[in-house]
Amino acid sequence: MKSIVILISGRGSNMEAIVRARIPGVRIAAVIANRPGASGLVFAQANGIDTRVVDHTAYADRVSFDDALAECIDAHAPDLVVLAGFMRVLTDGFVRRYEGRLLNIHPSLLPAFPGLHTHRRAIEAGVKVHGATVHFVTAELDDGPIVVQAAVPVRADDDEATLAARVLAREHLIYPQAVRWFAEDRLVIDGKGRVSVRGGCSDEVSAWIVPALDAPTGEAS
Ligand code: GAR
């Protein structure tokens, strides 16, 4: 059994997707938010998951916040820490502490569009394909070994909201998949920072390229 802690800042829909996936061999030890009002905490509590708040505004600097956060995480002794819409830049010390067991999801096809406002920037750049990436976290912002990506088309009439919704539906597919592979001990990072899935996986699973595979909800994209 692998124990995981999920960190959120707000809505927590990716956390919810991971919880709902009921991944065999995975126990969600806690959901921790850096904002007391993070609405995702309500879902976690309603599902009997231990919830904690480490409010970043109560700490003088990043290091003291990250230390408090690490203490809260370590109390649950997780095998994996999952950043799910956790909107804080983490210190190098924090990232090193969880090296190889810290995953993040970012709403772009990294290395394109690290940082904020990815959907707006994708539309402004005129890219035709956009998406999301699950990756191991390194000290660089929105960087690190890529586990899985999902691509969606950018349509001519898209605005930030429509594109974000299309990407989010794919996020909810790829994050539970990445956690499942981790729980199965199948993720291997090579010397060049590339990830492979031990035992292989089908193309449909390793990359959801629209329109090759649609979300199970049948959402039209
Ligand atoms: C998601 O789109 C996630 O990819 C993004 O925030 C959203 C959180 O939604 N994360 C980042 O931008 C991190 N750089 P959620 O709270 O509903 O999961």
Token pair 């909800």: residue: 217
d(CA 178, CA 83): 12
Residue 55's contacts (CB-CB under 8 Å, 6 or more residues apart) are 34, 35, 36
Phi-psi region of 185 (alpha: psi -120 to 50; beta: other; left: phi over 0): left
| Beta carbons of 8 and 49 less than 8 angstroms apart | no
Nearest alpha carbon to residue 106 among 93, 95, 98, 117 = 117
Query: Is 115 part of a structural domain of the chain?
Result: no
Residue 182: φ, ψ to 5° = -60, -45
Q: Which residues are 131's β-sheet partners?
A: 151
| pTM of the predicted protein model | 0.93
> Is the omega angle on the peptide bond into residue 111 within 30 degrees of 0, that is, cis?
yes
Residue 202, pLDDT score: 72
Query: Is 193 part of a structural domain of the chain?
Result: no
Query: Is 172 part of a structural domain of the chain?
Result: no
Residue 216, pLDDT score: 47
Instruction: Give DSSP secondary structure letters for 109-128.
Output: -TTSS-SS-HHHHHHHHT-S
| Beta carbons of 53 and 29 less than 8 angstroms apart | no
The per-residue pLDDT of the chain, averaged, comes to: 92
Taking the CA of residue 118 as reference, the ligand 1 atom at the shortest distance is 12
Query: Is 130 part of a structural domain of the chain?
Result: no
For strands 129-136 and 102-106, give the pairing. antiparallel
Instruction: Give DSSP secondary structure letters for 132-163.
Output: EEEEE--SSTT-S-EEEEEEEEPPTT--HHHH
CATH number of the domain that residue 61 is part of:
3.40.50.170
**Whether residue 172 lies in the annotated active site:** no
Query: Is 8 part of a structural domain of the chain?
Result: yes
* Mutational test site, ligand 1, from 35, 83, 105, 116, max ligand atoms within 8 Å of CB: 105
Residue 4's contacts (CB-CB under 8 Å, 6 or more residues apart) are 18, 26, 27, 28, 29, 78, 79, 80, 81, 82, 179, 183
**Per annotation, catalytic residue among 106, 119, 130, 135:** 106
pLDDT digits (tens, 9 = 90+) for 150-162: 999 999 999 999 9
What range defines the domain where residue 10 resides? 1-98
Query: Is 174 part of a structural domain of the chain?
Result: no
Query: Is 212 part of a structural domain of the chain?
Result: no
Query: Is 61 part of a structural domain of the chain?
Result: yes
Residue 201, pLDDT score: 78
Taking the CA of residue 105 as reference, the ligand 1 atom at the shortest distance is 4
Residue 140, pLDDT score: 93
Domain count, the chain: 1
Residues of the chain where predicted confidence (pLDDT) is lower than 70: 203-221
| 19 alpha carbon – ligand 1 mean position (Å) | 16
